[in-house]
């Protein structure tokens, strides 16, 4: 099993450009999450999904959109990138509320100029 994979690993964007980050998991987990990690701060939840076709806002959702068309995939979109979105983005998945341990992907480093 590959676990949780993320594409791309690194990306540079100009302000105003758009992009989509892809997360895939092969553990048949119901729940998936997108976090951002900034220096000196804990991981902060952007959006999450409790199942195929569902999404919900987390702690810092502004400027991001998500979609969960297939159970194994969770996409994070930036419609108009801003320098404040420079960060490392992590995707995670978990089996569900009864099995709440989250398993993380390797991360995507995003630099917005």
Partner 1 sequence: EDQVTQSPEALRLQEGESSSLNCSYTVSGLRGLFWYRQDPGKGPEFLFTLYSAGEEKEKERLKATLTKKESFLHITAPKPEDSATYLCAVRAGGFKTIFGAGTRLFVKA
Residues making contact with partner 1 (CB under 8 A):
4, 35, 40-45, 48, 50, 56, 59, 90, 92, 100-107
Between residues 64 and 90, which has the closer beta carbon with respect to partner 1? 90
- Provide the minimum distance between the beta carbon of 24 and partner 1 in the complex, in angstroms, as a whole number: 14
Catalogue the E-assigned strands of the chain. 4-7, 10-13, 19-25, 31-37, 44-49, 56-57, 64-67, 73-78, 87-94, 103-104, 108-112
Q: Which two tokens stand for residue 68?
A: 């969960």
- Provide the minimum distance between the beta carbon of 77 and partner 1 in the complex, in angstroms, as a whole number: 20
């Amino acid at each position: 099993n590959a676990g949780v994979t993320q594409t791309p690993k690194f990306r540079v964007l100009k302000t105003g450009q758009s992009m989509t980050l892809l997360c895939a998991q092969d553990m048949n987990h119901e729940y998936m999450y997108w976090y951002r990690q900034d220096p000196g701060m804990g991981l902060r939840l952007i959006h999450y999904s409790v199942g195929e076709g569902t999404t919900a806002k987390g702690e810092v959702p502004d400027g991001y959109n998500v979609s969960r068309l297939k159970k194994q995939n969770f996409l994070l979109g930036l419609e108009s990138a801003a320098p404040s979105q420079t960060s490392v983005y992590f995707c995670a998945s978990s089996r569900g509320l009864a099995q709440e341990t989250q398993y993380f992907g390797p991360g995507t480093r995003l630099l917005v100029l």
